[in-house]
Amino acid sequence: MSEDLHVRASRLIAQERVEGISGGDREWLDQHLAGCPDCDRLANATESAVRSLRSFSVPLPPALASRTQLRVFLRASEMRERRSAGWAAWAACGVSWAVGIASAPYVWRGFEWLGQLAGVPPLLWKMGFVLWWTVPALVATAAVLLDRADLERFRTR
């Protein structure tokens, strides 16, 4: 028999125990095991090892369940706090946009006046006006991204 058939059979034996295999693969494996004593021994040994592992018990510390419940409770509390903080951030963002839109004409006139007073070319004071609105948004975006990165780092622990 080809070495590839035995490799495929051993891969299917392991895959069957972990994630299951399709009906066609199951039929092929059964036929192969019927004609190959080495692969059949491997399948029986694998089944025996899995059975042994399932019957093996690990003694756990008695306080493990209570510590786990405490950690879950603390994590749920933290998530509730983050959610409420998220609503506050959205409300602050909405107020900020409303104030920004209402004050835009006044800020424009202020930049125009300062630009004329200082003799700055119109392109520069207009760029200053644009930066007046974009820099806080960029800082807020960076804060949100850093907060999410911090949250992801916490999840991977």
Reduced to 3 states, what is the DSSP secondary structure of residue 60?
Answer: coil
Same domain, 79 and 135: yes
Neighbours of 45 (CB within 10 A): 11
Same domain, 68 and 114: yes
Residue 80 is which amino acid?
R
pLDDT tens for residues 52-80? 888 878 788 888 888 889 999 998 888 88
18: pLDDT strictly greater than 70: yes
Same domain, 45 and 72: no
Same domain, 89 and 44: no
Indicate the Cα dihedral angle 74, 78, 81, 86, nearest 10°. -160
The 8-class DSSP code of residue 58 comes to -
Same domain, 97 and 151: yes
Side-chain half-sphere CA neighbours of 104 within 13 A: 11
For residue 17, give its domain range.
3-55
Same domain, 70 and 123: yes
Q: Are 18 and 24 in contact (CB under 8 A)?
A: no
Count the domains in the chain.
2
User: What pLDDT band is residue 112 in, cutting at 50, 70 and 90?
Assistant: very high
